């Protein structure tokens, strides 16, 4: 499920790049995607360790 969401976000970013969106918007979107990936990875790490929030 998380992989599907990440693929959809990446597709949206690629579409924005192809449309020629401003560079600042692209940088912000990349930072948001990086943050989401870190959050998902941390959640998976805690769930693998058997820790629940």
Sorted by where each begins, the domain ranges of the chain are 2-47
pTM: predicted TM-score of the whole model, two decimal places: 0.43
**Alpha carbon distance 15, 1 (integer Å):** 21
What helix, strand, coil percent values describe the chain, rounded to 5?
85, 0, 15
Q: What is the pLDDT of residue 53?
A: 45
Question: pLDDT tens, 28-51?
Answer: 778 888 888 888 888 777 766 655
Q: What is the pLDDT of residue 43?
A: 78
CA–CA distance, 51 with 32 (Å, rounded to integer)? 26
Q: In the predicted model, what is the mean pLDDT of the chain?
A: 75
Question: What does the pLDDT look like over 1-19, one tens digit per residue?
Answer: 677 887 888 888 777 777 7
CA dist 6 to 28, 41, 50, 53, Å? 16, 12, 24, 22
């Amino acid at each position: 499920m998380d992989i599907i969401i990440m693929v959809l976000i990446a597709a949206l970013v690629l579409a924005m790049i192809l449309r020629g969106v401003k560079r600042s918007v692209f940088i912000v979107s990349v930072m948001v995607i990086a943050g989401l990936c870190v959050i998902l990875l941390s959640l998976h790490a805690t769930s693998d360790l058997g820790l629940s929030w």
